[in-house]
Amino acid sequence: MCFPTNVSASYGPAGGSALVSVSVVGDGGGAGRSDEELAAEVLRELGGWFGPEEVSSWKLLRTYRIGFAQPDQSPPTELTDKDPRVGDGIYICGDHWSSATFDGALVSGRRAAEALIRDMIAARS
C-alpha cells in the first residue's frame, strides 16, 4: 500500500482527500469476488492497521485487476544475496530478483550495477 497524495496532492480527489493505493497479492487480486467484496476485505485488514474508526470513511474509487502484476513471493522465498550474474556479461535485476517492492527493484538494480563495476575492475587487472 502507498499514499500517492504524499507525493503530489494532484494525484488524489479534489478537496484535499488522501488517496490510498492497495495491491492485493496471493489469490489473483481477489479472484471470484466482486469489487465490493474485495474492498470490504481490504478495509477490514486496514482497520487492523489504522483502526476501524479511521478507515470507516474510506471509499473505493476504482479496482484494477492486473494478472501477474507482481512476481510470486509465496514462501519459501530466497530474496537476499542473489548473484545478479546469470551469464558472461549478463546481469539481471528487478523486483522479481528481490522483494516485489519499489525498494526491492532499486536494491536489485544496485546489486547488478555493483557486480558489473566489480567485474569491469577485475577485467582491467
| Span 102-117, pLDDT tens digits | 788 898 999 999 999 9
- Judged by DSSP in three states, 91 sits in strand
Question: What does the DSSP 8-state code read for residue 2?
Answer: B
Per-residue pLDDT tens over the stretch 15-64: 878 899 998 876 655 567 888 888 899 999 999 999 999 999 998 888 88
State the Cα–Cα distance between residues 75 and 58, nearest whole angstrom: 31
In angstroms, what is the C-alpha Rg of the chain? Answer: 20
Q: Output the pTM of the full model.
A: 0.61
Q: What type of residue is 1?
A: M
